[in-house]
Structure 1
Amino acid sequence: MKKKPIYLWVLLILSALISVPSLFGIVSPLPSKEALRTAQKQVAGVNAQQLEDQLNYTYRVAEASHSIFNVALIVLSTILVVVAIVFLVRKNLQYANYTYVGYVLLAIIGSIYGYVGLQDAVQLVQDESMRLTVSIGSKAVSIFGSLSTVVG
């Protein structure tokens, strides 16, 4: 009796679901600093320097997510997921597995690039307490992204 590749179907469906928001993210335009500044609300207990730090951090993260390298990674990973699904539908399990492994390796490279980009953006924050908070948050985002890559 031949085994059914249920594990690969589950992994590819999760990977496809993870890829969809990334595709929408690269299609959306990069906001200008003025648009981000008007979108920021005055929060009680936050001074002007912290608001400016938050603006610079947000803009740098958005800039990194729209870089050519990141766009290429997202497009290539989406193509690999689609190709793996096509191989799986055609019952070519070996090529589907190889394509999925390629997707995972590309996703790991993307996670590393995202981590480096977030750490670069953290350096723009001048307030020490805010820098610590943003740094912990960016590390949590990187860990979650890496875990979703392994699972999905």
Structure 2
Amino acid sequence: MHTPVNHPAQPIYRAIGGLTGLYLVVFGVLGFFASSGEPLLGRGDTQILGQGTNLGFSVFSIVVGGIVLAGTAIGRNLDVLINQWSAYLIMVVSLAGLAFIRTEANIFNLSVATVIVIMVASLVLLLAGMYGKVGTDDEHEAWKKARLVL
């Protein structure tokens, strides 16, 4: 009941979610080609768009971005669910990357710039997931009435 239904800017939020998924796919593909030939979870000096990456993180970005793009294409509130859960997953990865950035546990070879960019991407996906919900007029009225009750 707390997330808006039929928000006036819902198409914009859906497009923003799709663009975020597209960014993840493009970053992943560029990283995949730049780090091909290295170990899957190698700790090399590969950088794409100013962000550290390796083959494993590139594949992760391609998969998550592809899922977000598929959800955006399907719609029907599946994009809302996918955007929210993808945002949570990316947030966990970025926070773990930040916690282990200077240790051997940094399996995705993340840099501080990478952590910042994927954290922003996760927040954008979360925002798109929260404001992209579509429903009936009755659900919209119920949300408006619940919102006005203090």
Q: Which has the higher contact order (CA 8 A, sep 6+)?
A: 2
Q: Of Structure 1 and Structure 2, which has the larger fraction of its residues in helix?
A: 1
What's the TM-score once normalised by structure 1's chain length? 0.47
Greater C-alpha radius of gyration: 1
